[in-house]
Structure 1
Amino acid sequence: MKDTSKINNHSAIAAFQIIEEMAPIPEAVRVTDLARRLGMPRAKVYRYLQTLCNIGYVRQDPVTERYRLTLKLFHVGQAIADGTQLTSTARPVMVQLRDKVGLTCTLSIPEDAGMRVVDIVRVDSPVQIVTKPGALLSFHASAQGKVALAFGNPDLLSAQLASDHAPLANGKAFDPDRLQAEILHASQTGWAVAPEETLSGLNAISSPIFDLENSFVATITIAGSMQDIPAEPSATLCAAVTQAARAISKDLGCTEYPT
């Protein structure tokens, strides 16, 4: 007799892999392309996509027959996020920061593979930040990731320096010496930037958030065009982000902010 629990586990894992692969893709995707990206048989991916469509997490375009995630997953995630102390504590400060600097503000938490965006407070602007809640940002090529390397698990930095990374969004090759210098700078100043490293034409400033145990738990970040946030950002912008990070950390019970 087949162990149905194992079959169900494999199905659940595959379904979540598909969702996670689709999350950062801004446009609808073909089954063939998704199967190639995941290394799964096309028929298997198609079957799971149909199931996800049936329960409302994925929608198929009737004309192109391509698939995209619906907002159902976002609403589920938002409901969970709204119930956490971190998000409920950070959001009022994020709104204040957005209104103060006129730039989109995000909250991200560390995971094994990068920084997960869990909340966004957007600003109306001709340049829209396409990052969505649920997006996973790399450690080596995002402001959030560099902050995590500076203040989080110390083993992360050595692993990132030893890894082979694809060229940055600006076309530059990964430079471990440059990353190490940027992490040192972040640890001394309390903020990091990533000019055109994640997305062309965009930059971000990120600062660390600490909890009751004075441990790194998240980042608060402002993002905008290179005109809004140059590669060497103004002291005013940097101070606004670091002050917001301190305020959230204090509200979470942090007593020893490190910078």
Structure 2
Amino acid sequence: MGDRDDIKSLKKALRAIVLLNQVGDSTVSQLAQGLDVPRATAYRLLQTLAGEGYVDKLPGSDLYRLTSQVRRLSSGFQDLDLLLEIAQPMIATAQQELGWSIALSTPRGTQMVVRLNTDHDSPLALIRYGVGASLPILLSTCGYCYLAHLNDAEREAAIDNSLRNMDPRAPIPFDREQIDALIQRTRSDGYCHLEFEHYREGNLGVPLLLAGRPVGGIVMRYIKSTLRNTNKLREVYAPHLQRLASDIAQRHPVTHALQDRPT
């Protein structure tokens, strides 16, 4: 959007809300100084915001305070949106570092849904999946990363539900014993490595955990014929993806809230 398309008064009002949220109750002069605008402009901003119910002038003082009305501005913003906002630039950087396509997937019912990916930025991606593409949990590297970190009851229910709802045209290549073994190996290794015979790409995935709870996984797709060195997958790529998942989690407020909790 160019400068000619900007609504300058709206931008100033949004900056005023952000500033009041950061510094707390403020006078017209304090807001004017914080926004670097004339006092008359700050007064008009506060009067407009007060008229819409976003600020109140405290009785008997010159201070203005945000009201609970501002929460409506974020009422449609979900935890997943925040997670993706944090993860997007970090995943883009990781793709540049590793070269291979990287995606973040989260569960929806019996499917793992691609929420972010770098397919269109990676020249090495053989297939370019769009955001919103889905795969059954039991056919997904991220799915096994997710299942491996559920508690026992949740995991059994998720597997049973997935098996009941599996499309017969896309059968699971593993029996139940192999599924359980793969989940156990994923949990102990800290990553999941899957290669299917009829696909030219292999998959290396790691779990994405927030406060110890699985919310999805991060997967790197690579061309099998050019990356036969499984030691490199285990010793170089897996640790890189694990650090990426950890860095994303560390930047999420849920993690900070847990760390700041009194012991």
Normalised TM-score (structure 2): 0.57
Answer yes or no: is 1:223 the counterpart of 2:224.
Answer: no
Gaps of 5+ in 1: 1-79
Aligned counterpart in structure 2 of residue 118 of structure 1, from 110, 115, 119: 115
Aligned counterpart in structure 1 of residue 212 of structure 2, from 211, 214, 218: 214
User: How far apart in 2 are the matches of 1:154 and 1:230?
Assistant: 34
User: How far apart in 1 are the matches of 2:234 and 2:225?
Assistant: 12
Aligned residues: 176
In the TM superposition, what whole-angstrom CA distance separates every residue of 1:129-188 from its partner, at most 9, and x where no partner exists? 33221112211111111011101364454242683657998x984222222111111111
Answer yes or no: is 1:193 the counterpart of 2:190.
Answer: no
- Corresponding residue of 1:90: 87
In the TM superposition, what whole-angstrom CA distance separates every residue of 1:26-55 from its partner, at most 9, and x where no partner exists? xxxxxxxxxxxxxxxxxxxxxxxxxxxxxx
User: How far apart in 1 are the matches of 2:250 and 2:202?
Assistant: 27
2:203 is aligned with what amino acid?
Answer: A
Helix, strand or coil: the match of 1:106? strand
User: How far apart in 1 are the matches of 2:107 and 2:172?
Assistant: 25
| Contact 1:141–1:194 (Cα < 8 Å) also in 2 | no
- Corresponding residue of 2:247: 247
Compute the displacement of 1:128 (Å).
2.3
| Contact 2:126–2:201 (Cα < 8 Å) also in 1 | no
- Corresponding residue of 1:104: 101
Q: 1:196 to 1:247 in 2, by over 3 A?
A: same
2:87 is aligned with what amino acid?
Answer: A
Answer yes or no: is 1:184 the counterpart of 2:178.
Answer: no
Q: 1:234 to 1:214 in 2, by over 3 A?
A: closer
- Aligned-residue identity in percent: 18
1:254 is aligned with what amino acid?
Answer: T
| Contact 1:149–1:157 (Cα < 8 Å) also in 2 | yes
| Contact 2:112–2:142 (Cα < 8 Å) also in 1 | yes
| Contact 1:193–1:231 (Cα < 8 Å) also in 2 | no
- Extract structure 1 runs of 4+ deviating beyond 6 A: 166-169
Gaps of 5+ in 2: 1-76
Q: 1:180 to 1:85 in 2, by over 3 A?
A: same
Normalised TM-score (structure 1): 0.57
CA RMSD of aligned residues (A): 3.4
Answer yes or no: is 1:140 the counterpart of 2:134.
Answer: no
Helix, strand or coil: the match of 1:151? coil
Answer yes or no: is 1:150 the counterpart of 2:151.
Answer: no
User: How far apart in 2 are the matches of 1:221 and 1:84?
Assistant: 19
